[in-house]
Amino acid sequence: MSDASITNLSPRLRYARQQCQSVDQTPRRVPINLRQSGPTPTELLISTRVRKSPYWHLSQEAGCWRATVYNRMYHPRGYVRPEDGGAMVEYRALVEDVTLWNVAVERQIRVQGPDAEAFVDKVITRNASAIAPLHGKYVILCNDEGGIINDPVLLRLAEDEFWFSISDSDLELWLRGVNLGLGYDVSIGEIDVAPLQIQGPRSEALMVDLVGEAVCTLPYYGLLEATIAGCSVVVSQTGFTGEKGYEIYLREASRDAESLWEAVLAAGEKHNLAVIAPAHHRRIAAGILSWGQDMDQETLPFQCNLGYQVPRQKAVDYIGRHALEAVRTELDQGRYPFRQTLVGLVLGGHPIDDYAPDFWLISDLQADEPIGYVTSPWYSPELGTNIAMGYVPVTHQALETPLRIWLPEPYAERPGEPVAARVVDLPFRASVNPSAREAARSRGQDTAL
């Protein structure tokens, strides 16, 4: 297409046509879709092929105006409309007060039975035996090639009962398929449990009003059996933000969703509670990854700052161990068996105030040819700059490496020109509840132990 023809296109189409699509993604079998399309005015079809959570209608009443699909379930992704400040208003509610999230899309897959611990140990990289009842851990499950197939929060309710609170991939079918060959004495299946998240600096005060003072001594990743408005729940001190926060796992969710939701709203009035969508701008600042966006089944833990999830010593074998140990051996010898690695980025441009519709492309200072791509960008009010996570060649991962990022209108400083960026460490800001990686780094320990 000629330059004149491109100029006559709409800004969205002009941007899409001008972008080079030649990032080398070898050896991926299913490359990340780097085609740039920009926002598209396409209405989400609500049909019976995708499940509505028990909180879906309650989210609509709270003002949900847009949604996505996550784990084959409709997921609210916006309550404050752009003309009223949009996601940045929701962000302020999170970091200043307390917020309620509908996260029923975190389907709960239960593994229960005499062999529950042995089976879970076989499918996660960490040690299931180290998780005491009424505690949880962030874990990963890998395929036989070491690729990450899910990164759930794993809750241990009892000696013989675990719940996988899953990210956006169908873990139940995989677990069932694995056990067809292994034959462990366990039952595996989704249960009628739907979580809500309570996140923000005033979350503990709200939870005290809901379940009592016992929540004040609940450790990070600790679990508490409780009752709220006659509803049976499990409370965990966890969340997707880096802020102080909790998750409320509602049993019999199809029956009791309204009772729990209304009880939380009523108790939250004096704490200035706001119903918001998951705050990806805050989770990016905390360096928290999103499956399907920052990693997938072709991503190794060592590529995305999850090496600490792969212990050097584990008493039992697990799926993916052989491949992961082979990769670690290469890394220990100073060789990289992969091309791209995830880094933190600080970048210029106008404030990115909404979800990115594309994986924006990254170039170095030598040429316009893209060498990597951004996975999760947003503007950080605390840092006063745009921040992002993205994949770059391992040759460009050193801190302070200068790069350029091709932002679309309206974020670009000058249309058709990239903005300056540089590699920085993750997380961008300390978390109220530091992740295992943050804690290990603060102790000066190798995060791949």
pLDDT of 59 above 50: yes
| pLDDT score recorded for residue 444 | 44
pLDDT of residue 142: 98
Does the pLDDT value for residue 18 go beyond 70? no
The bridge status of strand 340-347 relative to strand 66-70 is: unpaired
User: How much is the pLDDT for 430?
Assistant: 84
SS3 assignment, position 80: coil
Distances from the Cα of 269 to the Cα of 133, 231, 258, angstroms? 34, 20, 17
Say what percent of the chain tops pLDDT 70: 92
At residue 440, does pLDDT exceed 80?
no
Per-residue pLDDT tens for 353-400? 999 999 999 999 999 999 999 999 999 999 999 999 999 999 999 999
CB 184, CB 113: distance < 8 Å? yes
278-288 residue pLDDT tens: 999 999 999 99
Among 182, 183, 206, 186, smallest CA distance to 196 is for 206
Q: Which pLDDT value is given to residue 14? A: 55
pLDDT of residue 448: 37
Q: What per-residue confidence (pLDDT) applies to 36?
A: 87
| Residue 2: per-residue pLDDT | 45
Q: Tokens 């992002």, residue? A: 388
pLDDT band at residue 437 using 50, 70 and 90 as cut-offs: low
Check residue 432 and give its pLDDT: 80
Region 125-138: mean pLDDT is: 97
What is the SS3 assignment for 9?
coil
Sketch out the chain's domains with CATH numbers.
Answer: 1-42+339-449 (2.40.30.110), 193-271 (3.30.1360.120)
Provide the mean pLDDT of the chain. Answer: 93
